Structure 1
C-alpha cells in the first residue's frame, strides 16, 4: 500500500467568537465608565440646604452636581448589555438564572434612567424659571424625596441582578469563583446596610442608605468588570 508523503496542511484556525470578544469589551467599558461616574459623583456631593431646597447654594452648584448623571445613564445601558451577554453565553440548563438577571437589570436601568433624565432635563429648568410646584419632592437635594427613593430601588435591583448571575456563571474557573463570592458578598452587604440603617434611623433614612448602596454596587462593578471580561472570553458552555 502506497503511503502519501505529501505534507499535511495545518489545521484551520479556530474562528474567533465575536460575541465573546464584544462581551469582554462591554465588561471593560462598564468598569471604565463606572470609575468615571464614581469620580464625578464624589466631586458633586451636594451641600445640605433646608426645605424647600431652593437656596442660592443649589443654583451655584449647577451644573456640577448633575454632570455625573450623564455617564451614569450610559452606564445603565452598558449594564443591561453586560448582563445580556452573560446570559447569551450561559449553559442552557442554567439560563433561567441569567434570564432573571437580565429582567432585573432592565428594570433597574429603566428606573434609574427615568430618575436621572428627569433630574438633568426638568429640575434645573424649573428652578431657573421659578416653576417650583413639586420641586421639593423631586429634587436630588431632598433626603426624603422621590429621587433618592428611586435610586435606592434601582441599585438594589442591580445588586439582585448580579446575585442572580451567581448560579449562571461557568464552573471550574478561578475568575468565575471569585465573581460568585463577590456578587454574593455585595448582595449581603446591601441587605445588611439596609437593615442596619433602617434599624438605627427608621423610615427617615435620609441619604445614608442611598450612598451605601450606590457605593457598594459601583465598587462591585469595578472589581467584577475585568473578571467578567475573562469569563466571557472563555469557551462557551453547552448542555
Structure 2
C-alpha cells in the first residue's frame, strides 16, 4: 500500500508564490504602514519635547551662568529625533518599494536624498546629545561655542538647515511616485509639493530680510515645516499603505 509523502512545508504556512504569499508591494505596504504610524508618534513626541526646550538667548560663549535653567532638559528631544531619522529613511524605502516601475527613478532619488539628510541630522544630533553635555560638565570648552545648539550662528543650526532642506527635496522627489488616480494620493502629492514650496519661500524671505544674519529663524521654520509634513503625511501614508498595493 503506497504511503503518502509528508510535506516538508510547515502546516499553515503559505506556499512560496502561492495565493497566501505577499507580493513585494504587499510586503512593502505592511512594513510601510507600521513605519508610518511610528513616524507620526515619534514626530509628535519630538516636536513636543523640542517646544519645551526652546533655548533662551544666551550670550557668547554660551557657557556658565548663561546656560538656561532647563538644562539638561534642552537635550532630551534629540534622542527621539535620532530615532525619527531612521524611521524617515525606512518610510521612504517603503515608498520606493511601493512605487510602480515607471517611477522607480524618482523613488530611488528620494531614497538617496533621504539617506543623506538623515545622516547629516543623525550625526549632528548624536554629537550634540553625547559630546556637548559631557564637555560642559567637565569644563572642556575648547570649540564649544561653534558646536553648541545655543549658538544661533553655529554648526548645529547650519547642519539642521541643510538636513531639513534635503528632507523637503525628498518630499519633492516623491511627488511623481504617487499617482493622481485617487484623492488620497493626490492629497499626499499636494502636501509634499506645498512642503517644498513653503521651505523655498521661507528661505527666500528670511534671506531677503536678514541676509546671512538669519540666526535660528529659518532653522525653526524649516524644522516646523518638515515635522508637520511628517505628521500629516505619515497619517495619509498609513491609510495608503493600509489599503494595500494598487492594481495598475
What are the superposed Cα offsets for residues 209-233 of structure 1, whole Å, 9 maximum, x if unpaired? 0000000010111111111112223
Could you say what the CA RMSD is over the residues aligned between the two structures, in angstroms? 1.7
1:196 aligns with 2:194: no
Task: Output the CA distance in 2 between the equivalents of 1:66 and 1:182.
Answer: 30
Which residue of 230, 237, 248 corresponds with 1:221? 230
Which residue in 1 is equivalent to 2:115? 106
Q: Across the two proteins, how many residue pairs are aligned to each other?
A: 228
Q: Which structure 2 residues correspond to residues 34-49 of structure 1 after superposition, within 5 A?
A: 34-49=43-58
Which residue of 153, 166, 170 corresponds with 1:157? 166
What are the superposed Cα offsets for residues 149-194 of structure 1, whole Å, 9 maximum, x if unpaired? 0000000001110110000113311111001111101100000000
Contact 1:170 1:237 in 2 (8 A): no
Contact 2:56 2:68 in 1 (8 A): no
Task: Output the CA distance in 2 between the equivalents of 1:72 and 1:80.
Answer: 13
Which residue of 23, 39, 47 corresponds with 1:30? 39
Contact 2:59 2:66 in 1 (8 A): no
What are the superposed Cα offsets for residues 34-76 of structure 1, whole Å, 9 maximum, x if unpaired? 0000000000001111000013242643220000000000000
Q: Normalising by the residue count of structure 2, what TM-score does the alignment of the two structures yield?
A: 0.88
1:86 aligns with 2:95: yes
Aligned structure 1 segments of 4 or more residues deviating by more than 4 angstroms: 12-16
Q: Normalising by the residue count of structure 1, what TM-score does the alignment of the two structures yield?
A: 0.91
Which residue in 1 is equivalent to 2:135? 126
Which residue of 48, 70, 82 corresponds with 1:61? 70
Cα shift at 1:201? 0.4
What are the superposed Cα offsets for residues 110-169 of structure 1, whole Å, 9 maximum, x if unpaired? 000000000011111111111111100000000000000000000000111011000011
Which residue in 2 is equivalent to 1:5? none
Task: Output the CA distance in 1 between the equivalents of 2:78 and 2:162.
Answer: 16
Contact 1:91 1:237 in 2 (8 A): no
Task: Output the CA distance in 1 between the equivalents of 2:244 and 2:140.
Answer: 56
Contact 1:136 1:145 in 2 (8 A): yes
Alignment gaps of 5+ in structure 1: 1-11
1:140 aligns with 2:149: yes
Task: Output the CA distance in 2 between the equivalents of 1:139 and 1:180.
Answer: 36
Which residue in 1 is equivalent to 2:82? 73
